[in-house]
Amino acid sequence: MPVTRRTFLAGTAALGAGGLSGFRGRAVQAAEPLVKATPHADRLGWRVGFSTYTFRALTLFEALDRIAQVGLRYAELWDGQRLSPEHSNARPNPALPKPLRKALQEKAAQCGVHLMGCYTGLGSPDAAKAFFDFAADMGLEILVGEPPEAMFDAVEKLTAEYEIDFGLHNHAKPSHYWHPDTGLKALEGRSERMGFCCDTGHWVRSGLEPVEMLRRIGPRVKTFHMKDLDAFGVVAARDVVWGQGEGRIAGILAEVKRQGLKPYFGIEWERTPDSEPAIHAESVAFFEKTAEELAGR
């Protein structure tokens, strides 16, 4: 069945039933947000939003419009994204001038979206210092990245200085941090502000069971780049709506609930560089259905 606003809303009423087929090339224009609220996730202390990398073909301002169309209230920025159609050379990074920083904050507020973090490099002490300063100015709560292990001392000091967390991200095998054990060793003995941004799709692509990985890293979990994929252990696996693939989404949520974690879940869609709001609203419907079941236990 093609995904339309009418079929999505009917699916939500049926606790998220629905399919992905027919989404390509079919624009969805919604006069109001598709997701009205996430009360069951809220009850568990879970926030759900986007990694703006999902809409990487768009400018950041346009991505915020997409997020508002879905109806979610949080976004993790990607530092490589063009800022706006009028300022396509600007990026959300320390070089962003003060007037454009204010414009970004105003745009996010207009869309009802809280800018909660940013993915970036942190490749040197000076670069890390500059980005933490930018994050503080923008009111961010976490920076996500994959800095060299030699940078961890500097990053840890900056998390304390700025009271901003760090989430170690993982790409798929054979990237350095593909397996959580590498990160765990690097984070051993470090402050609670140092943790993980769990890219569940890259775990699945690497043949790692997400629930087992969560049991390994436990309280170090900060945020998620959440993906569901059409195959397990296949590097080229492609995104599907949450709950319709091999990404173990229900199991991940059950494990997060079991451990009493309260992380941020960011939708990160890689299948296409832009996508329809209704696709992601279906994922949120599944997320809410699962949260409702877990909250009742």
Q: What is the DSSP letter of 274?
A: S
Q: What is the CATH number of the domain that holds 211?
A: 3.20.20.150
pLDDT surpassing 90 at residue 64? yes
Per-residue model confidence as pLDDT tens digits over 242-289: 999 999 999 999 999 999 999 999 999 999 999 999 999 999 999 999
Is residue 166 within a helix (H) or strand (E), and if so which, with residue range? strand 165-169
What are φ and ψ of residue 76, in 5° steps?
A: -100, 125
- Domains: count for the chain: 1
Residue recorded with tokens 């007037």: 99
Per-residue model confidence as pLDDT tens digits over 158-204: 999 999 999 999 999 999 999 999 999 999 999 999 999 999 999 99
Please give the share of the chain, as a percent, with pLDDT higher than 90: 89
Q: What local confidence, expressed as pLDDT, does residue 31 receive?
A: 58
When the pLDDT of each residue in the chain is averaged and rounded to a whole number, the result is 91
The range of the structural domain enclosing residue 115 comes to: 5-295
- Residue 150 in contact with residue 185, Cβ under 8 Å? no
Q: What local confidence, expressed as pLDDT, does residue 296 receive?
A: 87
pLDDT surpassing 90 at residue 4? no
Per-residue model confidence as pLDDT tens digits over 133-152: 999 999 999 999 999 999 99
Report the alpha-carbon distance of residue 83 to residue 81 in Å, rounded: 6
